[in-house]
Amino acid sequence: MNIDALIDAIPKAELHLHIEGTLEPEMMLALAARNGVELPYKDVAEVRLAYEFDCLQDFLDLYYNGMSVLIEERDFYDLTYAYLEKVHEQGVTHTEIFFDPQGHTCRGVSFETVLGGISTALETAEKEMGITSKLIMCFLRHLPEDEAFDSLHCACKHKSLVHGVGLDSSEKGYPPGLFSRVFAEARKQGFIPVAHAGEEGPAEYVEQALDDLQVQRVDHGNRAFENPALIKRMVNERTPMTMCPLSNLRLKGVASLELHPLKKALQAGLVVTVNSDDPSYFGGYVAENYKAIQQALNLQAGDIITLAKNSFSAAFIDDKHKQAAHDAIDKVVSEVKSKLKSK
């Protein structure tokens, strides 16, 4: 079976995607001009040239700077709609999107402006392209927990639009336990908890995310492999990991994709998924992530099918939706197989 054709055709859910990380250089410059924002780049080539990172913090500095062009509700709409159009072409039928309200409210852009633009685009895309979605609001872990509470209070006014809460930004030195109180309140208010852990931080941060924040998924999770008992626990509890191969490569979490722990995760029986994280910054959307990791780890068609099915098993959708997605995957797989046989 032509594996790239399978990757393109197979229905996929994306579960680890920062909407601000989909800001392509062309849109960054166009929005800067539209909103009169000064950027330190004169053209697209200069923006791309700046995308050389040695670690997570190098990336975050550019990521927060790039966000400064997002000001009006229509900017957030355009950003979100462009992402959805792109992944619709790649076979994504469901997406769970992170957004970082504190990256905007600190610049005087209101929570409602951000949420209004994103959620209207999601609604439009569901009508036009049939893509379903959930929104996950992240707390920035380099800021104090009190400020996370401010975001939570805003989200409580929009429970129909915000499904979950997450934790992102600089990991080292900011363990999940610092956010126990705000996550407890978020869970009490009905938000589903997830957190970035083990991207750069140690396995202990993954344990804290599970124990102190009671997360239902771990975002990244790579360094959990330093603790075999923790992996066993995540297998037993079926806690999904949302992995992002090209992100890990570009931020030097792995020296090469051949050394990426995704195959180990599959072999261990973890509910592991493939995602793009910040596709504009890391050189690939979800299909490119599947293709790159398939090649590097010599994944087989059966692995791709498992990864695609995992993406729906790990999604925050009901069992009927999960089953329908798994059935759609089986149908596409048999169509791809018979097309190839008839060639």
Q: Which residues bind Zn ion (CB under 5 A)?
A: 277
- Which residues between 133 and 192 bind ligand HPA (CB under 6 A)? 168-169
* Region for residue 91 given its phi and psi (left: phi exceeds 0; alpha: psi -120 to 50; beta: otherwise): left
Candidate list 20, 199, 200, 204, residue with the active-site label: 199
Angle at alpha carbon of residue 16, lines to 203 and 265, rounded to 5°? 45
Q: Is 82 within 8 Å of 24 (Cβ atoms)?
A: yes
Least spacing, CB of residue 25 vs ligand HPA, in Å: 17
Residue 56 as a binder of ligand HPA (CB under 6 A): the answer is: yes
**Residue from 24, 96, 199, 204 that binds ligand HPA (CB under 6 A)?**
199
**Residue from 15, 17, 18, 125 that binds ligand HPA (CB under 6 A)?**
18
Least spacing, CB of residue 168 vs ligand HPA, in Å: 3
Angle at alpha carbon of residue 292, lines to 290 and 296, rounded to 5°? 115
- Which residues between 265 and 284 bind ligand HPA (CB under 6 A)? 277-278
Dihedral of alpha carbons 71, 72, 73, 75, sign: negative
Residue 73 as a binder of ligand HPA (CB under 6 A): the answer is: no
Tell me, by CB under 6 A, how many residues bind ligand HPA.
11
Residue nearest to Zn ion (CB): 277
Which residue, chain included where needed, has tokens 């780890």? 297
Collapsed DSSP state (helix, strand, coil) of residue 133: strand
281's contact among Zn ion, ligand HPA, none, with CB below 5 to 8 A by partner kind, is none
Q: How many helices (H) and strands (E) does the chain have?
A: 17, 8
**Residue from 12, 94, 163, 196 that binds ligand HPA (CB under 6 A)?**
196
Least spacing, CB of residue 277 vs Zn ion, in Å: 5
145 is catalytic: no
Q: Which pair of tokens denotes residue 327? A: 């059935």
Q: Which residues pair with 165 in a beta bridge?
A: 137, 193
Count of beta carbons in the 10 Å neighbourhood of residue 161: 16
Q: Which residues bind ligand HPA (CB under 6 A)?
A: 18, 21, 56, 63, 168-169, 196, 199, 247, 277-278
Residues designated catalytic: 199
